[in-house]
Amino acid sequence: MYDGLTARYTFPCPRRGEVQLPLSEFRVLERLPGATHPAVYKVTFACSCGDDHEGLVTHDELDWAPLAGPETPFLNLMTAQFEAAAEELLDLAATRIRAGDWPWSFFCYPEERPRPVFPSAFRLLSAGDDQLGLAVECPACSRTSVNLVTRPHVDLPFYNDREVGVVEHLFVADCEHTFETFRAELYSAGFDASRRRLAA
């Protein structure tokens, strides 16, 4: 399904039989109810035939396969033997993550801060000429933010744009969450203490 050498996913196409495409050609990602180990996502992708098609991808293929590289062994010219690199690449990725270098990131607009993320948190991708509109469900606050990023920012692990465009918009469900949070704070003892400080 995922080819680590080309950083592309393979999906069936009714016209071409099979197509390979990068993550930036995904348009909608939706986690399906039911299976959890592994979770399964329905993906709508922009096919090279000109139509949008649907396919299925597991959580492991979406989040972990890009970090582990190809499953097929490669010829190590130093030893003249075929060797697998997945374990070493995962170890390297874990080392980078422990050092604070996350493979994918986005800017959470409601929280006003950058957040680490995996592709399974992507919800919508909209392709433009130079940039992608990327809607991400924040794993920390569960609200949706839209960022404008380059294709490598989405396609290549550990490639993060220096600057990310942020669409300043709260979605309806996020507004309801904000109102609920404000209402809870309004009736809390902490708010009463703040009001007393202002009145003093």
Cα–Cα distance between 148 and 161 in angstroms, integer?
10
For 94, list phi and psi in degrees, rounded to 5: -65, -40
Residue 174 has pLDDT above 60, yes or no: no
Q: Could you read off the pLDDT of 114-163 as tens digits, one per residue?
A: 999 999 999 999 887 778 999 999 999 888 899 999 999 999 899 989 88
Give the closest residue to 67 by CA, choosing from 159, 157, 161.
157
- Mean pLDDT calculated for residue range 99-124: 92
- Mean pLDDT calculated for residue range 18-43: 91
DSSP for the chain, please give it: -EETTTTEEEEEETTTEEEEE-GGGEEEEEEEEEEETTEEEEEEEE-TTSSEEEEEEEHIIIIIHHHH--SS-EEETTTTEEE--HHHHHHHHHHHHHTT--SEEEEETTTTEEEEE-GGGEEEEEE-SS-EEEEEE-TTT--EEEEEE-HHHHHSTT---SS-EEE----HHHHHHHHHHHHHHHTSHHHHHHHHHHH-
Give the closest residue to 94 by CA, choosing from 74, 72, 67.
67
pLDDT, position 129: 75
Residue 45 has pLDDT above 90, yes or no: yes
* Preceding amide of 38 cis, omega within 30: yes
Per-residue b or e along 80-102, where b marks 16 or more CB atoms closer than 10 Å to that residue's CB: eeeeebbeebeeebeeeeeeeeb
Cα–Cα distance between 110 and 170 in angstroms, integer?
7
Residue 199 has pLDDT above 90, yes or no: no
Please provide the average confidence, as pLDDT, over all residues in the chain: 82
Q: What is the pTM of this model?
A: 0.76
Residue 42 has pLDDT above 80, yes or no: yes
* Domain coordinates in residue numbering, the chain: 2-169, 172-200
pLDDT, position 139: 92
